[in-house]
Amino acid sequence: GGTDDQKRRAAEAAVEAVEDGMVVGLGTGSTTAFAIRAIGDLVADGVDVRGVPTSFASRELARECDIPLVDLDDVDGIDVAIDGADQVAGDALVKGGGAAHAREKVVDAFADQFLVVADPSKTADVLSHPVPVEVLPSARTTVAAAVSDLGGDPTLRRAERKDGPVVTDNGNLVLDCDFGEMADPEALAASLSALPGAVEHGIFAGLADVVYVGTDDGVDVTEL
């Protein structure tokens, strides 16, 4: 992955879009963590911001940063969502490295502006990163079989410091599905969404509005 400086530059550039009175979707992951801290600095300076977290982790960090938190049913809309990605190819992303993509997609898609923050290691011409698919625990074998039929290679995501699989904030499991290069991510996204027992997948096609890539000497901003 990229350096902390690259991640911080991307995140702080995206936070420049946050204005007084805004409701901000708070993504998940190490790059977005820099954005959450920068938003915490705005709050400390008296800027009126309310955050909608996308995971237990982002809620925890936002609370440490004293960002006032609201739920989706407390707000009429989300002005800006800031979130990371595992891979970016044009206006299509693979997300879900942190197994938070179900709630991330709800917030990111609902926001008026969805700003992606990344480092150069995330960019590609064609999506090829394995696609995380959150599955109902009882459906993991049926979804795995259906993913194989779609040409993917599914792997149940194992936890590192817990026996057994990763369990998401929603109590589900994650299959990392390797499809190799994805020539038509939108078509694959539709196929995955149709699978019974597949709660959410990590292809975010056509949702992002701006991509900020932090480099060693600045930020590359792409308006989509």
- Residue 220 assigned to a binding site: no
- Residue 95 assigned to a binding site: yes
- Burial class, 175, CB count within 10 angstroms (exposed 0-12 / middle 13-18 / buried 19+): buried
Between 58 and 191, CB nearer to ligand DER: 58
By CB under 6 A, tell whether 53 contacts ligand DER. Answer: no
How would you classify the pairing of strands 210-215 and 218-223?
antiparallel
By CB under 6 A, tell whether 154 contacts ligand DER. Answer: no
C-alpha separations of 125 from 1, 92, 129, 181, 182 in Å: 17, 10, 12, 10, 10
- Residue 171 assigned to a binding site: no
- Residue 197 assigned to a binding site: no
By CB under 6 A, tell whether 37 contacts ligand DER. Answer: no
By CB under 6 A, tell whether 97 contacts ligand DER. Answer: yes
- Residue 86 assigned to a binding site: yes
Residue from 12, 24, 28, 40 in contact with ligand DER (CB under 6 A): 28
12 is catalytic: no
Residue from 98, 152, 154, 185 in contact with ligand DER (CB under 6 A): 98
Beta bridge partners of 221: 212
Number of neighbouring beta carbons within 10 Å of residue 15: 24
Half-sphere CA count of 135, side-chain side, radius 13 A:
30
Helices 56-64 and 30-44 pack at an angle, to 10 degrees, of: 30
Residue from 29, 53, 154, 214 in contact with ligand DER (CB under 6 A): 29
Task: Tell me which stretch binds ligand DER (CB under 6 A): 39-47, 57-65, 83-91, 141-149.
Answer: 83-91
Q: How far is the CB of 100 from ligand DER (least distance, A)?
A: 5
Q: How far apart are CA 64 and CA 26, in angstroms?
A: 13
By CB under 6 A, tell whether 85 contacts ligand DER. Answer: yes
Residue from 101, 105, 140, 201 in contact with ligand DER (CB under 6 A): 101
**Phi, psi (degrees; rounded to nearest 5) at 60:** -60, -50
Beta bridge partners of 158: 165
Q: Among all residues, which ones are annotated catalytic?
A: 104
Known binding residues for substrate: 28-31, 83-86, 95-98, 122
- Residue ranges in contact with ligand DER by CB under 6 A: 1, 27-31, 83-86, 95-98, 100-101, 104
